[in-house]
Chains A and B, each alone.
Chain A
Amino acid sequence: MSSDTRTQAPIVSALPSGMRVVMRPETANEIVSVLVFFPVPGAIERTEEAGLVQFTAAMMVRGTTSRTHAELAEAIDGLGISLTCSAADDYSLASLDCTSDTLEESLALLAEVILSPSFEPEEIEKERQSTLAAIRRRDDDRLAFAVRHMMQDLYAGHSYGLPRLGHAETVAEFTRDQILTVHGELLDAPRMLAVCLGHFEPSRMESRLAELFSGITGRGGEALQVAQPGPPRPGRRTLERPGEQAVLAAGWRACGLADPAGPAVRLLNAVAGEGMNSRLFQRLREQQGLAYATGSYVHLLVQGGHIVAHIGTRPDAREQALEGLLGIFAQLRRERVPREELDRARNYVTGKYLIDHQSNHRRAFYLGHYEMTGLGLAADEDFPERLARVTADDVLAAAEQFLGDATVAEVLPPE
């Protein structure tokens, strides 16, 4: 498949504070996305503080030193913009999507939530209740519940296996001091990155950002780094929950984002479980009628990665479903993927890449993601080329290396 994905190189500069800025002005529409990445990985958390970085991020839009939560909400809604803060495994970020006619005011609001959140005790309690409810809703989803437990075993206590939202027990204990500490770590100017993409004038954007973020400096010292995860805990965990379906999640640890095997792992996953032509979909759903929802996904992170496969089936078919699912991955370890099938998977992943680059927000996100994870800005555009070089032998080697014993969690109705 041809994939001419080249676009003009972004403008890269640094503000006087040391904060880096990447700008890609485009005029296809009048939308501007500004994403500010912070050098605090969600996965820096210890088990007993799971959810703390995400909680801190959520608190940043709950009022500032000059506006109450209600006043801030009024300002954001009044501009019709999206302004959110969140934690990912390897970094945290604040995201702004606005129209170019409100850019000046929107940027000021973005800077305000980043630089001067108030972390009022009353707001902390409200956010705590909101997060506890979000955790209950998350666990009400049978697949999310299965995956959460499987990930704990797959990462054997490492923070990549913790839910970024945290656990009820940990969220209940967060203190204002802990939140202030995390917020202080976010504001480390030389390790922050602003990515701006859309309809704006670059010199004006740069001077405005310099002005807004003039008050921060570097924290010095070592960058916060996620530790290397230890070995996984393969096995099968059963969780009983009344309901109609049995839901199974199986996981395997894979390589990190920068590992040369990364593209092969992505294609391995695509062959197994991405899209309607994947082996999971075709064999377990289309041929055996075992499931409506089955598939797999891959996450490659700085210090490791994983493939997760899942299926929801009738309880009396769960052994057959699990055997079928694991059999598909076992076969990938034994047999080379036929060339035509590999090419289809390659085209599919490349196509998804193009499709996921339509919005300004997503294009800005990818630039920042690759820069923050150490692969560099060019990695986004190079992605199709890296996929193009993968051979069937590479995929087989990746399967042999990573698809050992699976870690499985199943949610079943009681007998």
Chain B
Amino acid sequence: MIRKAEILAERIYQRLPNGLTVIARRVPNRVVTVDVWVGTGSANEDERLNGVTHFLEHMLFKGTPRFGPGELDRTIMEIGGVWNAGTSKDFTHYYVTVASPFFHRALDAVSDMIQHAVVDPVEFERERPVILEEIRRKQDSPGGVLVDTLYAVSFRKGPYKRSVLGTHESVSALSRDEMYAYYKSHYTADNMVVLVVGDMDPEAAVASIAESFGGLPPAPAGLSRLNNGLCERAAGESCVIKLAVGETYAALGFPAPAVDQADAVLALDLAATILADGRSSRLYRVLKEDLRLVSAVWAGSPTHRHESLFYVLMTLERAKWAEARRAALEVVRDLAARPPSEAEMAKARRIIRNGLFFSTETNTGQSATIGYYHTLTGSMEFYDTYLERLGHVTAEDVSRACAVFEAEPNEVIVEPLGGVEGSGA
């Protein structure tokens, strides 16, 4: 048996006087990862500022008073580091992994870029076409179009309606000063978690982080940020998009609970596993193997801070959509009508447990999971108690949580234009 202690292995957790959370965990693997999580994402934007969080993430790599344009990248490459960042609806994070002797140099570069980005006006204009290119690239990606459109049609209003990248129009209209103001009001100590995972002395690492980030101010009293979670859901919406693709991509969206409804979140995590994780899962077995309606199927709900979506994604031949939709609804609603068996529950728990356990093999696997849940909830409790609570979720709890599937789903189909040029061998 895997001991719980291996998921909750020794670590240091500390909140600095400025409100910054620091988490350090030692893994003797010769490399170390610094992963800085900022609790802001596209959910913190309005229509006009849509895309600012993601654009800002790019701008942080462009330099500080100490590191000119290109120098941060040069420094990280010099020390053999691999780094990147990601922006989502609820968060932004920046991560670098280096051989352990270079921990301090990596920390120096990352902490400087997080706190002292210049957001230089010339670099800002130079980066804008890069962002527009990223938007164009996504518009050519069937998976990207599918999920973005599903969020867009599923909410009439609310924090998750908009795309993380923004639109061509919103990104074209953003000003450098708007971005800088957003930066200063969201990149505050109380809105950040710094994780360090890998081959280092955790106590010394926490001391170094305290020194590097100790001067970062918390948010001033009375600061107001967007993202109150209020949303107006749509139901029964349908959207068909034509792209130059050979396969059809389809999505069904249902309501999903916010992270603070932990019991429902865990029950739906188990439901998602029962439905589509592995070849013995229900949707895979019924839709793909027995009825041969789809070529691939996924189900799940990326847990968000506020109420969001549970979705079922499929790839299939266009002509099979009506039947696949009907069969998929039957399968997911059956879980609401009848609790899963104990054997199915045990299998789902083991798949989730092992998935979490395998993810701890890499530093970024650990920092991503811990950072994600801490950023959404503000504490370690959700992560620390996840497996234990999972063990307490009953089959009836799963069935009750699956009542969300009774709602009329929103649906999006990305279908071929009607003959894809040059798709032969």
Contact = CB atoms under 8 A, between A and B. Distances in A.
A261 interface: no
B28 A28 contact: yes
A42 interface: no
Given A276-B77, A276-B83, A354-B80, A286 B421 contact: no
Contacts of A314: 132-133, 136
Given A31-B357, A80-B354, A243-B140, A276 B99 contact: no
B295 A239 contact: no
B279 A73 contact: yes
B126 interface: yes
A99 B2 contact: yes
Interface in B126-144: 126-134, 136-137, 139-142
A130 B295 contact: yes
Given A79-B350, A97-B358, A350-B80, A245 B126 contact: no
A222 interface: no
Contacts of B245: 136, 140
Nearest to B281: A77
B19 interface: no
B8 interface: no
A397 B43 CA distance: 52
A203 interface: no
Interface stretch (A187-195, A248-256, A300-308, A339-347): A339-347
B289 A70 contact: yes
A13 interface: no
A173 interface: no
A351 B98 contact: yes
Given A242-B421, A358-B362, A142 B140 contact: yes
A12 interface: no
Contact of A2 (B101, B130, B141): B101
Interface string B410-423: 00000001001111
Nearest to A281: B73
Given A80-B351, A140-B247, A289 B130 contact: yes
B119 to A, nearest CB: 15
Nearest to A3: B99
A1 interface: yes
B29 interface: yes
Contact of B350 (A69, A78, A167, A359): A78
Contact of A76 (B102, B278, B357, B358): B278
B354 A81 contact: yes
A1 B31 CA distance: 13
A292 B78 contact: no
B48 interface: no
A349 B360 CA distance: 23
A228 B81 CA distance: 36
B77 A277 contact: yes
Contacts of B61: 276
A324 to B, nearest CB: 14
Contact of A5 (B30, B70, B244): B30
Contacts of A79: 350
A244 B137 contact: yes
Contacts of A29: 6, 357, 360-361
Interface string B265-300: 000000000000111110001001100100110000
A177 interface: no
Nearest to A98: B354
Contact of B1 (A101, A167, A242): A101
A74 interface: yes
Interface in B216-253: 243-247
Contacts of B98: 351
B378 interface: no
B101 to A, nearest CB: 6
Contacts of B422: 145, 239-241, 411
Contact of B295 (A61, A134, A293): A134
Contact of A343 (B78, B288, B316): B78
Q: Which of A1, A80, A285 has the most CB of B within 10 A?
A: A80
B142 to A, nearest CB: 6
Interface in A219-235: none
Interface in B35-84: 61, 69-70, 73-74, 76-83
Interface in A277-328: 277, 281-282, 285-287, 289-293, 312-314
A74 B277 CA distance: 11
A176 to B, nearest CB: 19
Contacts of A293: 133-134, 137
Interface string A122-161: 0000100110011011011110010000000000000000
B74 A344 contact: yes
B325 interface: no
Q: Which of B6, B137, B316 has the most CB of A within 10 A?
A: B137
Given A1-B80, A244-B140, A28 B315 contact: no
A30 interface: yes
Contacts of B319: none
B425 interface: yes
A269 interface: no
Given A30-B2, A70-B289, A354-B80, 16 more contacts: A4-B30, A31-B357, A76-B280, A77-B281, A81-B354, A242-B417, A244-B137, A275-B73, A275-B77, A292-B134, A314-B132, A347-B77, A348-B77, A359-B358, A360-B361, A414-B421
Interface of A: 1-5, 28-31, 61, 69-70, 73-74, 76-82, 97, 99, 101, 126, 129-130, 133-134, 136-137, 139-142, 145, 167-170, 239-245, 275-277, 281-282, 285-287, 289-293, 312-314, 343-345, 347-352, 354-355, 358-361, 411, 414
27 contacts: A1-B80, A5-B30, A28-B27, A61-B279, A73-B280, A74-B280, A76-B278, A76-B280, A82-B358, A130-B296, A133-B316, A139-B246, A140-B245, A239-B422, A241-B244, A242-B421, A243-B244, A245-B137, A275-B77, A277-B73, A286-B70, A289-B127, A289-B129, A292-B137, A293-B133, A293-B137, A355-B97
